[in-house]
Amino acid sequence: MADLHFELVTPDRLVTSDDVYMVVVPGTDGESGIMAGHAPYMTTLKNGDIAVYRTQGAQPERIQVTGGFAEVSAKGLIVLAESAEAAA
């Protein structure tokens, strides 16, 4: 399966822009796992961790976010967060 293009943006900066295997976002209605080919989708985010899987079977990289939105389109996944930092 093709990779998913993932971008994470805050008001201050572009945090990451990369092709990854899967991203799990903390939506207000629950966590959503997004992979390449996902149907168009939009959700608001709750405070929590985004899990970024660079390859299939890899351990996730976690990025702590506060608030924002996530949108899946034909171009990939874009997360617009109020703030983001590497989770401890």
34-68 pLDDT tens trace: 999 999 999 999 999 999 999 999 999 999 999 99
CA nearest neighbour of 76 among 3, 19, 4:
4
Handedness of CA 42, 48, 52, 57 (dihedral sign): negative
Here the CATH number for the domain that contains residue 37 is 2.60.15.10
CA nearest neighbour of 87 among 69, 56, 58, 66:
66
Note down the domain range covering 48: 4-86
CA nearest neighbour of 8 among 59, 50, 42:
50
Q: Tell me, what's the pLDDT at 86? A: 84
Number of independent structural domains in the chain: 1
